[in-house]
Each structure stands twice: as structure tokens, then as C-alpha cells.
A and B are shown apart, each in its own frame.
Chain A
């Protein structure tokens, strides 16, 4: 069953047509990659799904609900999490508090004021920090982490909300090869409860973890299929050999 259905989505910035009639379907618990040359509209599409900006036309249906014009907060509450391209952790908060902040996001105001969930969430927060190898940095400020660790922290923040769909915009940007491999291993277990839409320039990384790929070019879908189908696609090879 489709978790995310994108139908005829377009996005125009002034005279620039960034997306044009894009159709993408993402199944529940599948890993879906968005690839394409620079400026092909990958990040624009991801932002339209997350609500960072709104599609000029078309519809985005998530888990049976039309979210085309929903706010980012509404989308998050429906089970959609985003990791930004530029790391968007809260630098002046501790690593622990960053995860706690994400974890408590859907609590009621009264809950937050009484702070009753603090003890309740502690083990879970530490669990996520352990999983992302950040437990021994829990008390440090997030800004003191290395770039790769900051990326992990942000993925942990996104996952701690137990989303149905996680959107990752270049999660391995600036990482060492070892950190990239570790990131792949960190993401694999989430398949049990969460689908993934990922934009990434590292094609080896994306081939390793994704089930399906959508290739964008000039704001349009160039091709869509399994990793193997895309690997053998003549249209895709042409774009990548001539322009990448």
C-alpha cells in the first residue's frame, strides 16, 4: 500500500520551473531514493513533501490524507520527519536535550509544564543516543560534536519521533567513508517501522540501501524503478554520462 503519493506536483519560483508534473509513489517500510544531477529538483521535491515550501500545483497524499497545504508541524504530527540538508540541530543545547526536545514534541502543553514525562523519556533518550554512539557526549553541547556526529544527532532526532516516513536530505554530506558505512548500518533497522525518502549524491550509498529510485532531471521524473532497473536505464545513463 502506498504511504506517500505525489501526483502532478509542480513548483515555480518566479520564472523558474523547479518541479513539473512530478509523480512519485512510496510504499510503507520501503527505502526510496531521489537522484539526479544538480538542480534537477530533488531537494525542492523533498521540501515540498516536508512542508518547507508548498507545491504550486498537484497533490501530496500521506497516509491517506492530503497534506499539500498542511504546515510542517501538522505533517510532523501525522508521522513525517525531516533531516535537513544543512544540519539543523540546536547548537546551544546539549546533545541530550536535542533528542529530548524531539522526543517530547507531540506532548500536550500541560504535560510539558508539569515536566512529568522527563523521567518517562529518559531511558528512551539514552537508548537513541546509545544507538547513534552519542551516549558519552550526552552532556556536551551539540555544537561541539563533529560534523558526522551532528548528522547522526539529527537523524536520531528525526527517528526518535517514530515517524512513518523519514525524509533525509544528503545525510552523508561531509562524512568520512567510515561514517558513511556506519550511517547505512544505522538506517537499515528502521525499515521495520518506517519508510525512507532519501536525497543523496553518493550513488553507491543510495544503491546500497534503497529499494526503489526516482531519477529527476530538470524538475521532471526521468525514470522510476528498482535499483537494478535504474542501473540499466538508457535514459539515466545518458543523463549521468553526459552531464554528471
Chain B
């Protein structure tokens, strides 16, 4: 059989190359930057986990969430409370506790927003998550026990046994390991047969319901997983920054999570990492130029607006085809097309004659 142009295009796979290049780049960062820059890069890695959680929701499942920071912030506060009120700072406990808080919060919000009797609209979910994020921000801003508007400082370092994790290269590599674990977990989901369901859901939810899929349950499940990894990043963020405040669970950071994803390119996972690196590096660079200091947020805003408006597939859209972004899920369709896959068995009924 002659390959169609689409088949040929599908064989040129840019994503694994980009993923490999990004990983090599991330591994090299502490070796080519100052300690201060490594600390900034560690923050980017933590925000990249948050951005991946957004990409799972919007890029893969069609859930427009403006509330990912809610799970990030709740876990951040939980970690800070564990450190400050209970004196517990062990990594082995902080990580599952942060994930648990994010998971439970996302399950609760997902149950309310996604599992109602009526199929929720994108706008309903967007406004619901936005409202939850805003309400949580307002709540902690007025709650003295958690520091109110001043937030909470975390004085102790995160520990692995008796080893203290100070912000720097070691902390960077620990966070990189968590980013990698989250990335691989998310990649496993979106490349599995569940990923095919998600890809179908994005195109035509109603059709999938008629095929027998309980679409909203799948959405709630992905939302919960995304909340869990957002929670993980929030818990670690509180220790890395030594601080967690109302802004870390509000609409500001939630909106940034959306922008990271859209800027880098949703539906690719690695686009979320690229989006964080691009926006944060731009912000860092622009804010450091004397002449631009008063204007840098405006310049950054315009750049983001241009990319989001004129390049809906984000920066990764320049390199990754739509076909590759959506992916292919069968085991042998392509091999079969090349003639080296398992031979197709005759169908259950006779071939119709002409």
C-alpha cells in the first residue's frame, strides 16, 4: 500500500525529540547557572508541575479549569501547617500529605462541578473553578490562624532523614525527579487507552456517551489526578520558598497556570514545561532591564496575548503537528499499513460483494 501523506507526516515525530532536549536542558541547569538562578529554576519546575496539571485538564480532557492554584495553595498551607504547628518536615510525609490534600480537594470540587445530573458546560466549570479559587483566597486572607493576608512563613527546611534540603542544586534535582515522575505518570495516562477516551471526549463528548462511556466520571478522575499533582507542587513550593500566602491559591496563579499551558502548547505535556520556562524567563529577564522595569508586566502581557490569540496551539504548535499532538493509540494500524504488522483476520461476516 502506498502511504498517504498523513501517514508520512505521522512518522516524523517531533515530540520525543523535544522531550529529550528539554530533559537534557533541565539536567544541565545547575551546572550552567549560578545558585541564585538554580533557585529560580527550581521554582519554575514546581510551577511546571502545576502547568502539567492544567494541561491534563484542558489540553487532554476538555475541562477548562481556572482553579488549579486552589489545590496548589491548599497543599502549600497544609505543608506549612505540618511544619509550623506539628514540627513535621520529612519529605516522605510531606509529599503524600500534599498529594492527599490536592486529591481530596479536587475530588470534592470535581464531584460538585462535574458529576451533577446535567452535563456541565465548559463555562460552568470554568466559573466554578474560578469562584472556588477566589473564595479560598479570600478565606485564607482573612483567617488569622493561617496568617491571614500575611501568609505563613516556613522556617524549617524540608528533610530527608537528617539531611536538610536547602534551596539549591540538590533541591533542584529532587524537584526535577518529582516533575519527571508527574510527567511520566501523566504521559502514561494520556498514551494509554484511557488517553484515547480523552482524545475522543475532546472532539465529541456526546458521541462517547452514546458509545457507552460515562464521560463525566472520566473527567472527574482526570481532574482529581491533576489536583493531586498540583497539590504535590504546592506542598514542595511552600518549603522551597519558605512561604505560602493567599496569592498562591488565588485566581492570579490559577490564571498563570492557564497561560503557561496555552503559551507553551496544550495537549502535549512538554508544552506546559516549555510555557513555564518561557514565561518565567521572559518575566525574569524583562524585570531586570532598567529601562523596561516600569513596563515589563505590560510587555509580557502583550507577548502572551499575541501568542494565545494568533497561535492557539502555543509554541509547541510550531514544531508538533496536530496529528502527533492527538496521537495514535492502536498497536498495529501503522505497522499494518506498512505491511509488517499481524495479518488482519477476515471480519465476522463475509466481505460484501460488488
Which of A's residues lie within 8 Å of B, judged by CB? 50-52, 71-73, 76-77, 81-82, 84, 88-94, 96-97, 100-102, 104-107, 109, 111-115, 117-119, 122-133, 135-136, 138-141, 144, 157, 161, 182, 185-186, 189-190
Contacts and interface: CB of A to CB of B under 8 A. Distances in A.
A148 to B, nearest CB: 13
Contact of B6 (A91, A100, A140): A140
A94 B336 CA distance: 13
Interface in B295-331: 322-323, 326, 328-331
A90 B202 CA distance: 9
Given A73-B213, A97-B330, A102-B211, A135 B192 contact: no
A157 B213 CA distance: 14
16 contacts: A71-B209, A73-B209, A76-B212, A90-B200, A90-B207, A92-B199, A93-B196, A93-B203, A97-B199, A101-B211, A122-B332, A130-B345, A130-B351, A131-B347, A133-B352, A135-B336
Contacts of B328: 94, 96-97, 139
A139 B347 contact: no
Contact of B344 (A73, A106, A135): A135
A105 B336 contact: no
A interface majority secondary structure: helix
Contacts of B345: 123-124, 126-127, 130
A124 B349 CA distance: 12
Nearest to A83: B210
B203 A123 contact: no
B211 A97 contact: no
Contacts of B353: 185
A93 B200 contact: yes
B352 A126 contact: no
A80 to B, nearest CB: 9
Contacts, number: 167
Contact of B329 (A118, A136, A157): A118
B150 interface: no
B193 A125 contact: no
B139 interface: no
Nearest to A107: B193
Contact of A131 (B10, B211, B336, B349): B349
B203 A73 contact: no
A77 B192 contact: no
A101 B204 contact: no
A140 B9 CA distance: 11
Given A101-B211, A139-B4, 15 more contacts: A50-B210, A71-B209, A73-B213, A73-B214, A73-B215, A76-B209, A81-B210, A88-B204, A94-B333, A104-B197, A109-B218, A128-B348, A133-B352, A135-B344, A138-B333
A71 B208 CA distance: 12
A100 B203 contact: no
A101 B336 CA distance: 18
A112 B210 contact: no
Nearest to A162: B348
Report, nearest first, the 7 A-B pairs whose CB atoms are least far apart: A131-B347, A76-B212, A126-B344, A189-B349, A96-B333, A127-B347, A105-B212
B97 interface: no
Contacts of B200: 90, 93, 101
Interface in B150-175: none
A131 B353 CA distance: 11
B221 interface: yes
Contacts of A122: 330-332, 342
A185 B349 CA distance: 11
B354 to A, nearest CB: 8
Contacts of A128: 347-348
Contacts of B4: 139-140, 144
A22 B68 CA distance: 49
B181 interface: no
A105 B342 contact: no
A137 B48 CA distance: 39
B7 interface: yes
Contact of B346 (A71, A106, A127): A127
A74 to B, nearest CB: 8
B207 A139 contact: no
B212 A97 contact: no
Contacts of B187: none
Contacts of A96: 328, 330, 333
Given A93-B200, A127-B348, A100 B329 contact: yes
Contact of A119 (B7, B326, B331, B354): B331
B1 interface: yes
Contacts of B354: 182
Contacts of B115: none
Nearest to A185: B352
Contact of A72 (B209, B347, B350): B209
A77 B197 contact: no
A112 to B, nearest CB: 4
Nearest to B354: A182
B350 A100 contact: no
B344 A127 contact: yes
B138 interface: no
Which residue, of B192, B206, B353, B354, has the highest number of chain A Cβ atoms within 10 A?
Answer: B192
Contacts of B6: 139-141, 144
Nearest to A91: B203
